[in-house]
Structure 1
Amino acid sequence: MKKKAGLSSMALKWIAVISMFIDHLGVVLAGTLSYEVCRGMRIAGRLAFPIYCFLLVEGFYHSSDIKKYLLRLGVFALISEIPFNLLLTGGISYPQYQNVFVTLFIGLLLLYLYNRFLANVQPIYAIMTFVSMLCLAFVLKCDYGAEGVLIIFLFYFFRFRPVPMFISVGLVLVLMGGIEPFALAAFLPIAFYNEERGRYLPKGKTMQKRYQYFFYWFYPVHLIALSCFRYFVLR
């Protein structure tokens, strides 16, 4: 079977991971490097979240078991909370802000419930679910907040209509202000998505699972590593 031109989901994951790492490294190096350099690193990191949201929606459509998908996100949201707090504040507790896995979990839960209610011809419940998940993200103060969950929903709602999808998501990013409009650059790699998993996936179901979990574990592990770097090297 001939490989399609463009970027696979694996390639998009690597772009998101590298972008996220640069972003968080910019957080750690703030005060050590110049403001302009650290701001540039934070701007480069804006690519990560839209790509993760887009891939979450693709995972929703292609996953054989959404409940297991939700469980994975929920577990890693819990695992990542202390590492996230350590990087953000240097302490283990910070209830004012939650890690991005919480945002992704709420977003996937919204897609699961919304789609289920629509399938059962219960549009009122679908709308109520949409509103309640946005409120939940706002109350929990998860990374990117209710806007982040809205972005996930827009990628889902306009999945087969790329022009309104990019316009609506772009509008949310612009309205978020700050450096978030720079996340519009993520539309370029997303536009080249070829709907393939990636040619370099290892053979065998067990190996593929391990490779998949690398991207889950990378988030809390790199947060811990960067926190240790700041504490032991930059002090």
Structure 2
Amino acid sequence: MNWLLQGQVYKGKRFQGFSASVLKLFAIICMLLDHIGASYIEEGIYSISDTLSQQQLEHWIMLDSMLRIIGRVTFPIMAFFIVEGLFKTRNVRNYILRLGVFAFISEIPFDLAIENSLLDFEHQNIFFTLVIGLMAIAIAQKLSQELFLARLVPIVIAMIVAYALKTDYGAEGIAVIALMYAFYQIRLSKEAIGAIYIATEIARPQIAVGSAIYAVLMFFYNGKRGFNMKYLFYVFYPAHLLILGMILRVKF
């Protein structure tokens, strides 16, 4: 378990927090649970709700709500690491290109699983939000810190683009990435970043639990890389969506 906790009490050593790889793995698990709810339950079970008893339907609704709440942890974690990646990557252009490529690779699996359609332009996958957000903060980073209003321009444009393309989390997702970039720049503590993210979600109490979990996790983030899982999220995202989409097509 030492590799997992990167410092939990083990052979006399004290817990030193969670590494980046552990937080990303946790985010992936939460994302999987979220998508099971969004795909299997909402697109599958609900489509045959007329064959279920009222009690059965209520149980599925309760389970779906729980899974979707857990899933709210994923985006803020990924948004944070998009920002941290900007500061740590050796090649921002390749970073943007990689996200962009997987955005297009993931779109059909995303539509199959989440929209129960081969291709749906009404809702685009999270990679589009992440790459648009990354491009926005990368451009903002190039501008002088004294030109505050000028640095807002790429952020606002990115929010408009995300809204127009109907990406997952849309303009709000870009705003979260931008806020985390600003907090990272002024070296606010990671727990403060979590708290401020919760504050942005007060108007949406249904995901406050997920936000609170994120804040707790970030409190224990130790800033270490952990084990190598560079491409795990990139591969897992379209793969698990494709599997969920196939299950949806076969079973329902």
TM-score (norm 1): 0.87
Runs (5+) with no aligned partner, structure 1: 202-210
Secondary structure of the corresponding residue to residue 76 of structure 1? helix
| 1:192 lines up with 2:220 in the alignment | yes
| 1:171 lines up with 2:199 in the alignment | yes
The aligned counterpart of 1:208 is: none
C-alpha separation between the residues in 1 aligned to 2:128 and 2:90? 22
Q: Residues 50 and 183 of structure 1 are in contact (CA less than 8 Å); yes or no, is this contact kept in structure 2?
A: no
1:125 offset after TM fit, Å? 2.9
| 1:114 lines up with 2:143 in the alignment | no
The aligned counterpart of 2:208 is: 181
1:220 offset after TM fit, Å? 0.4
| Pick aligned residue for 1:213 from 204, 221, 231 | 231
Are the structure 2 counterparts of residues 12 and 125 from structure 1 closer, same or farther at C-alpha, using a change threshold of 3 Å?
same
The aligned counterpart of 2:27 is: 16
| 1:61 lines up with 2:79 in the alignment | no
The aligned counterpart of 2:36 is: 25
4+ runs deviating over 4 angstroms: none
Question: Which one-letter code corresponds to 2:214 in the other structure?
Answer: A
Equivalent residues in 2 for 1:61-80, closer than 5 Å: 61-80=87-106
| 1:157 lines up with 2:182 in the alignment | yes
Equivalent residues in 2 for 1:26-45, closer than 5 Å: 26-30=37-41, 31=45, 34-45=60-71
Deviation digits for residues 49-106 of structure 1, max 9, x if unmatched? Answer: 1111111111111111111100000001111111111112222221111100000001
The aligned counterpart of 1:99 is: 125
The worse-fitting range, judged by mean Cα deviation, of 212-221 and 27-36 is 27-36
Aligned-pair identity (%): 33
C-alpha separation between the residues in 2 aligned to 1:127 and 1:16? 29
Secondary structure of the corresponding residue to residue 96 of structure 2? helix
1:190 offset after TM fit, Å? 1.4
Are the structure 2 counterparts of residues 226 and 178 from structure 1 closer, same or farther at C-alpha, using a change threshold of 3 Å?
farther
Are the structure 2 counterparts of residues 85 and 29 from structure 1 closer, same or farther at C-alpha, using a change threshold of 3 Å?
closer
1:178 offset after TM fit, Å? 6.0
C-alpha separation between the residues in 1 aligned to 2:83 and 2:95? 12
Q: CA RMSD for the aligned pairs?
A: 1.8
C-alpha separation between the residues in 2 aligned to 1:87 and 1:134? 25
Runs (5+) with no aligned partner, structure 2: 1-5, 8-15, 47-58
